[in-house]
Amino acid sequence: MSDLVIDREVDRSKMTVSEEKAVEMIDVNKWYGSFHVLRDINMTVHRGERIVICGPSGSGKSTLIRCINRLEEHQAGRIVVLGTELTSDLKNIEKIRRDVGMVFQHFNLFPHLTVLENCTLAPIWVRKVPRKEAEETAMHFLEKVKIPEQADKYPGQLSGGQQQRVAIARALCMQPQLMLFDEPTSALDPEMIKEVLDTMIELAEEGMTMLVVTHEMGFARQVANRVVFMDAGQIVEEADPETFFTSPKSDRTKLFLSQILGH
């Protein structure tokens, strides 16, 4: 829960929010058995938005973003992603997953494949891109996350920060229109957190639509255009970062902020 200072000016020229909706959640509810984990979630994400979701542990943040690419199934309400509604129809689910990238807390790289193979697997088998082209794209994104020299290594031979950057490159190789991040830096040491955050900032600067679950409040301040605070399966407060950090309305938010920022 470090409050790393982001030591450079964030370039906002391409961070434009369009009218078009990327994700729309209407009255979404979900239960684990009898445990009501998501309660009446209503949220709209427009293309180009960078949304940070925060909240205490167990508040349902992971569950919320995992519903967007159907790693979890919602039981009531509607979720429309990139114009396609999520139902039990496998074709729709696969279509959405092709266009939505996800980065996990524990990287989840494929340990039996090299870094390059990790990055080309889905483009080749899902998007049917020719191998040659997929490898060129993969190298392009590996350069972007600044580890092209590791392309032929196996994930087990990389540091945590490098692995997470590979995971980001792997997701980008599918040319997604929306990226989901579930606590991408929580499993990392402080010096590695910075390299991963830098990568994410660059992505934001290029205009990527991003939904980020994180406790990195520095990132939220500098990059997000909206902060969503969740508690007990509900959205408690939603505001631009300036308002959210300086004048939170709800008591729960105030309590959470005081704990996390240590005032």
Partner 1 sequence: MAETTYVRTEMLPPKPPPPSQTGVVGWMRENLFDGWKNTLLTLVALYVVYALLSAALPWFLHAVWDADSLNECREVIKASWGPEADGACFAVIRDRWHQMLYGFYPQELYWRPNLAFVLMLVALSPVLFPNLPRRMLLFSLVYPFLGYWLLWGGTMWAPVSWALGFVLGYFAFVIVNDRGGTILAAIAAVIVPLLWWFFGAGPFADLVQSLIPISLTDVESRQFGGFMLSVTIGITGIVGSLPLGIILALGRQSNLLMVKSLSVGFIEFIRGVPLITLLFVASTLLNIFMPPGTNFDIILRVVIMVTLFSAAYVAEVVRGGLAALPKGQYEAAAALGLDYWKSMRLVILPQALKIAIPGIVSTFIGLFKDTTLVSIIGLMDPIGLTNAIRANAEWQGIIWELYGFVALVFWIFCFSMSRYSMYLESRLETGHR
Ligand X SMILES: Nc1ncnc2c1ncn2[C@@H]1O[C@H](COP(=O)(O)OP(=O)(O)OP(=O)(O)O)[C@@H](O)[C@H]1O
Distance of CA 7 to the CA centre of its chain: 22
Residues that bind ligand X (CB under 6 A): 32, 35, 37, 55, 57-63
Among 75, 108, 243, 250, binds partner 1 (CB under 8 A): 108
Asked if residue 32 binds partner 1 (CB under 8 A), the reply is: no
Site membership for Mg ion, residue 185 (CB under 5 A): no
Q: How far apart, in whole angstroms, are the C-alpha atoms of residue 189 and residue 197? A: 12
- Select from 33, 156, 190, 262 the one that contacts partner 1 (CB under 8 A): 156
- Residue 113: exposure state from Cβ atoms within 10 A (0-12, 13-18, ≥19): middle
Nearest-approach distance from CB 115 to Mg ion, in angstroms: 26
- Minimum Å gap between C-beta 40 and ligand X is 16
Residue ranges in 115-144 that form contacts with partner 1 under rule CB under 8 A? 121-122, 125-126
Residue number of the CB atom closest to Mg ion: 62
33-92 residues near partner 1, rule: CB under 8 A: 69, 71, 90
DSSP H/E element including 172? helix 160-172
Do β-strands 178-182 and 100-103 pair in parallel, antiparallel, or remain unpaired? Answer: parallel
What span, in angstroms and rounded, lies between the C-alpha atoms of 257 and 250?
11
Answer whether 29's CB lies under 8 Å from 221's CB. Answer: no
Interface pick for partner 1 out of 37, 104, 235, 248 (rule CB under 8 A): 104
**259 sits near partner 1 (criterion: CB under 8 A):** no
The pair of three-digit structure tokens given for residue 34, joined into one six-digit string? 């009898």
Please report how the helices 115-125 and 131-144 are oriented relative to each other, as an axis angle in degrees rounded to 10. Answer: 130
174: contact with partner 1 by CB under 8 A: yes
Nearer to partner 1, 71 or 232 (CB): 71
Nearer to partner 1, 15 or 113 (CB): 113
Give the number of residues in contact with partner 1, rule: CB under 8 A.
Answer: 27
- Should residue 62 be labelled a site residue for Mg ion when binding is judged by CB under 5 A? yes
> Minimum Å distance from CB 245 to partner 1?
31
Largest Cα span, the chain: 55
Reduced to 3 states (helix: H, G, I; strand: E, B; else coil), residue 93 is helix
Cβ closest to partner 1, residue 203 vs residue 217: 203
Number of Cβ within 10 Å of residue 63's Cβ equals 20
Say how far apart CA 222 and CA 201 lie, in whole Å: 9
Q: Would you say 25 or 115 has its CB closer to ligand X? A: 25
